[in-house]
Amino acid sequence: MADTKLQIIPLGGLGEFGMNCLAVRWQNDILVIDAGLMFPESELLGVDIVVPDITYLVENKEHVRGIILTHGHEDHIGGLPWILSELNVPVYGTEFTLAYVEGKLDEHKMLDDTELIEIAPGAKFSLGPFTVEPIRVTHSLVDCVALAIETPVGVIVHTGDFKIDLSPPDGKAFDLHKFAEYGKRGVLALLQDSTNVDRPGYTPSEWSVKPRLDEVFSRTKKKLFFSCFSSSIYRIRIALDLAHFHGRKVAVVGRSMVESSEIAQDLGYLDLPPGLLIHPGQINDFAPENMMILISGTQGEPMSALSRAAVDNHKHAHILPGDTVVLSSRVIPGNEKSIYRVIDHLYRRDAHVIYDDGASGLIHVSGHASQEEQRLMINLLKPKFFIPVHGDYRHLKKHAELAQSIGVVDQALVIEDGDVLELDRESAQKKGKVTAGRICIDSGSTADVVEDIVIRDRRHLSEDGFVLPILTINKLSGKVERQPELVTRGFVAESGLLESARQVVASTLENSSAEEKADYGVIKEKIRVDLKRYIQKNTSRRPLIMPVILEI
């Protein structure tokens, strides 16, 4: 029966923000939409990034026809190096998206082995039984698309990340007409971005930040430091236009900001007047009132250019009393501490700091649709089935309720990572699960996958510390040469307890035979068990105990 049904299988992004990855399957053909990463929560100690578990795709690798990317944000392309190390399949994306992907794959020495295929809004292409048409949408990044996918049972539309902006700074407006056309023809299922389902009304256009920023430029008497997400090309463009208008030269500081602005210039998204940009080394050659520094690090990343400048540790960017720093971005949940720490440092430097505090005027707008735009899309497409994507469970649930309340959807279904949703022309239902979850990556190496047990051990060490009993044993006689030594880290104990613990170790050695002492595996385990029992009984703590034996 499943042979005549279309399967939609989310592998990431439904139940969390980030890590977006979704498989669409018809019989023996699978296409994958997006391959994102997620930045770790604080409880994932020492983990750098989190990517989706693609066991299902690896098990079916001969059926995977390709990965289609909706746009170039990290939560949609960041997992590619890890996914492509397991699956060698073509990657489809728009020109700007692939420019980001090339840099990422080049960094991982994978560019030469990966087939990158450029797609464009309105240009249909086929993958197995699927015919895909990219449709122009607007977001906080340029060159973003939704995907209309014709399948043997009907058309499904995946919006990607979107908001409805009919006058974006690059003049490439949201293609409402194309969505309306698909609505007239009939849409089987709509998978729609849920990020801002909590927000009533409409999300303002990118242009709406310009009046407030213009006012900031007018009032700033000294250097102006402007920071936003390096991928926010629209925002960068507005800042550069204002800098030119107000007679300021611009220096670009920070690796990600330099890379993004260079790509945007190469592809024609930034058209800069001659002489506007200067090298960061020339900042001091111009009067402070004639300088703007475009700087990366809006989320307070520890080694970012802005974080270093905030503590006066940057080669070129020096923030002096009276300078103005604009943070034109939202605070991503989880980053609050690091962002406010940077803001504190900026205030210590006597700088004027302007950030999104919800007060006077807009300096940042979201790239995601609010409720009225979500309703408009549902009304335009009139899908038979509605599936919310991208967000925590509460967002998905609320979005499904919103869709159902409009009255044009037959059924709204909330699915999560690993659920298998089967559709035909008449019905949609959940049918079982596949393996899904998170893979933790340490230090950016494809080999360094962090197992659950490692996270557990790190948590254990952070809570209870560890104790190293160090013993010196004569290899020939089996005799203990000197008193056992105890080294502790992250475990505080008064000297009396440590002395007693040392006696416990000595006692264990005394009560062990010469044969046991000669077998280091046995004696280590005996010491570990006895010491653990003693410490737990006397302190109710369970430090990690690792006996070390020095043989002489």
Active site residues: 193, 368
Query: Is the separation of the CB atoms in 191 and 156 below 8 Å?
Result: yes
Q: Which residues contact 403 (CB under 8 A, 6 or more apart)?
A: 192, 374, 378, 386, 388, 409, 412
Compute how many other C-beta atoms are within 10 angstroms of the C-beta atom of residue 378. 25
Residue bearing tokens 């930034």: 270
Q: What are the CA-CA distances from residue 193 to residues 229, 374, 436, 484 (Å)?
A: 20, 8, 20, 62
Residue 203: name the closest of 330, 15, 46 by CA.
330
Backbone angles phi, psi at 59, to 5 degrees: -65, -25
Q: How many whole angstroms separate alpha carbon 266 and alpha carbon 170?
A: 14
Q: What are the CA-CA distances from residue 372 to residues 32, 144, 165, 195 (Å)?
A: 29, 20, 13, 13
What residue type is 112 in one-letter code? D
User: Element (H or E) spanning 116, and its range?
Assistant: strand 116-118
The DSSP symbol for 414 reads -
Backbone angles phi, psi at 27, to 5 degrees: 50, -110
What residue type is 350 in one-letter code? D
Q: How many whole angstroms separate alpha carbon 126 and alpha carbon 412?
A: 28
In angstroms, what is the C-alpha Rg of the chain? 29
Q: How many whole angstroms separate alpha carbon 245 and alpha carbon 496?
A: 73
List residues forming the annotated binding site for Zn(2+). Answer: 71, 73, 75-76, 139, 161, 390
Compute how many other C-beta atoms are within 10 angstroms of the C-beta atom of residue 424. 15
Q: In angstroms, how far is CA 28 from the centroid of its own chain? A: 31
Q: What token pair was written down for 220? A: 């700033």
List residues forming the annotated binding site. Answer: 46, 48, 71, 73, 75-76, 139, 161, 364-368, 390, 442
Q: Which residues contact 198 (CB under 8 A, 6 or more apart)?
A: 395, 398
Q: What are the CA-CA distances from residue 462 to residues 46, 466, 489 (Å)?
A: 11, 9, 10
Q: What token pair was written down for 71? A: 């746009």
- Helix/strand/coil for 289: helix
**What does the H/E/C string look like for 384-401?**
CEEEEECECHHHHHHHHH
Q: How many whole angstroms separate alpha carbon 398 and alpha carbon 404?
A: 10
Q: What are the CA-CA distances from residue 328 to residues 144, 270, 316, 323, 413 (Å)?
A: 21, 18, 21, 16, 36
Residue bearing tokens 């160090």: 470
Largest CA distance in the chain: 90
Query: Is the separation of the CB atoms in 223 and 290 below 8 Å?
Result: no
User: Element (H or E) spanning 503, and its range?
Assistant: helix 495-510
List residues forming the annotated binding site for substrate. Answer: 364-368
List residues forming the annotated binding site for Ca(2+). Answer: 46, 48, 442
